[in-house]
Amino acid sequence: MPVMCKYSKCFEGHGPILAFAANAPDQTGHFRKFYLIIDANQQSFGISSAPERFEEVKSTGSVVAIMRKHAKSGTIAGIFRESETGDYWLPMFTSRGEHPDFWLQLAVASPPELRFIDASGTALVRKSSQGTYTKRWQLNKPLPTYPVQVNALMEDISASLIEASSPAEAALGQENALTATSADTSTSTSTNPALLPDYQRSARDRIARRLKTVRKAMTKAQNLSTHNTAALAAEHEAQLLQNFLSRVLPGQDCLEISAEESGFASPLIIELNPDRTPGQNLSDLFTRAKKARRGASLLEEQVAEAEAEVQSLTLDLESLRAGTLNVAAVNEILRRHQLQTSKGGGVAPAAGEKVPYRIFEWRPVGAPPKSAAIRLLVGKSAADSDELCRQAKGNDLWLHVVGSTGSHVIIPARDLKAPPLPGLIRTAAILAVHFSKLRADQSAEVYLTRRQNIKKRKGMAPGLWQVNQAETLFCRYETEELQSVLVTGL
């Protein structure tokens, strides 16, 4: 029997990936939360599950917008794989009807394609490695009949996927939850994307955008290059007109050549300009053939260059996602693709590099221990605090005690998905007071502003910065609260 899972949110990943926040009953009858991942990449094609949301997904995009419009939440009534074609089908119910309101199809195609289909068999949106298509498209075969045909012709794999979503089995390696192409590529990369330096994450995103642009250009050039037969046809017509030019009379608007003479299956009609002489018509036709041949040659060169660039961009994107690289290696990749190089800014550490700050983590009250945390970065010394502030982005939050020396505290804006909560600001203020000369008092006034509102003037002592604009807050805390903050240090 298919396992019913309820979904509430959907996300898009890098490339043709769709993820659902879902929950379904396990063997004990308790509902378990998990993420259902639908992957239309050529190398990792298939459907899998994970206990937690991975970093490479976003809650915006064309597919998400259309799905929110038509099927914001509902029930996925099983996950099925068609034995004959290898396609995956997910019937989706958004009402209490007997038949699915929508279908999700993960189609085996070239390239593989993810399709969101309504009950009439019309794809409302399609996504593949070549892009997203929002133009409505009618399927070339009927939808499965639910539930008889689905249960008869397709293999239900939903139960095994949900079992694989438990934390103990989060490797996503269940055999029937994966595609036959590769069982290893569905697992996440060995390096947590959250630990990549900011400059590398920025370069990764820029390379991904360039790759998308080049792929579109390559597809367009490939589609145009398929019409290269026009150049050959123009040359053939010019040769035939030259051979039978004596038949053309002044003022004639066309010349008909029989199938036997033209070499085609049917007679060939060559259009002529009646206002020009036969010789001028011949010259015009040869000129068009020459231009068509030159255009075909240029298209072939463009396709070859685009294919080589796509291959290079894909390899570089994989290396940027796979592990931490230093600034020089990242800049070499950017220069290779004629992109502006990075100055190495950002407040995430590169592997093996000594960082000028301590790292603490903050999560909202009640958040799961493994949920994404917000980093709080505290300078280790006066000189290290200077370096921390230089690395910080202009919209990062900055805190420091008022009227005394102490460590600078930075909250990276990249970690903030919404306006900072009071609990986060209080934790950062506690760290600013504790790592200052006022730590014994356990109370002090603290500056709070953006990094762009402070400035280091020439000749200023280490750790000393000019505050151009800031608000102040008073922070008092007990030893127990301080200890609960310090234990989050990494």
Q: Say how many domains are in the chain.
A: 3
Among the candidates 296, 325, 345, a domain finishes at: 345
Both 199 and 269 in one domain: the answer is: yes
Q: In terms of domains, do 361 and 332 share one?
A: no
Give 182's pLDDT tier (boundaries 50, 70, 90).
Answer: very low
Highest mean pLDDT (candidates 89-103, 230-244, 318-332): 89-103
Please give the pLDDT value at position 180. Answer: 30
Question: What local confidence, expressed as pLDDT, does residue 169 receive?
Answer: 40
Confidence of residue 347 (pLDDT cuts 50, 70, 90): very low
Alpha carbons 486 and 360: distance in angstroms, whole number? 7
Are residue 154 and residue 232 in the same domain, yes or no? no
Q: What number is the average pLDDT over the span 77-97?
A: 86
pLDDT reported for residue 280? 87
Q: Which domain holds residue 34?
A: 4-177
- With 0-12 / 13-18 / 19 or more C-beta atoms within 10 angstroms meaning exposed / middle / buried, residue 289 is buried
Residue 409: phi and psi, rounded to 5, are: -120, 130
CATH number of 165's domain: 2.30.310.10
Higher pLDDT, 402 or 53: 402
Q: Which of 110-114, 154-158, 255-259 has the highest mean pLDDT?
A: 110-114
Same domain, 141 and 29: yes
> Residue 351: inside a domain, yes or no?
no
- pLDDT per residue as tens digits for the range 274-332: 888 888 888 888 888 887 777 777 777 888 888 888 888 999 988 888 888 888 888 88
- The pLDDT assigned to 191 comes to 44
Global pTM exceeds 0.95: no
Q: Is residue 206 part of a domain?
A: yes
| 435 band by pLDDT with thresholds 50, 70 and 90 | very high
Question: N- to C-terminal Cα distance for the chain?
Answer: 46
Of the given ranges (101-105, 176-180, 386-390, 392-396), which has the lowest mean pLDDT? 176-180
What pLDDT sits at residue 427?
Answer: 93
| Statement to judge: residues 116 and 204 lie in one domain | no
For 156, the token pair is 């239900």
Say which CATH number the domain at 253 has. 1.10.287
> Which of 429 and 27 is assigned the larger pLDDT?
429
Mean of all residue pLDDT scores within the chain: 79
Per-residue model confidence (pLDDT) at position 188 = 36
- In degrees, rounded to 5, the angle at the alpha carbon of residue 193 between the alpha carbons of residues 67 and 13 is 15
pLDDT band at 362 (very low <50, low <70, confident <90, very high): confident
pLDDT tens profile 193-203: 445 677 787 88
330-342 residue pLDDT tens: 888 888 888 877 6
Residue 393 CB neighbour total at 10 angstroms: 16
Q: Is residue 343 pLDDT above 50, yes or no?
A: yes
Question: Are 331 and 402 in a shared domain?
Answer: no
The answer to whether 431 and 444 are in contact (CB under 8 A) is no
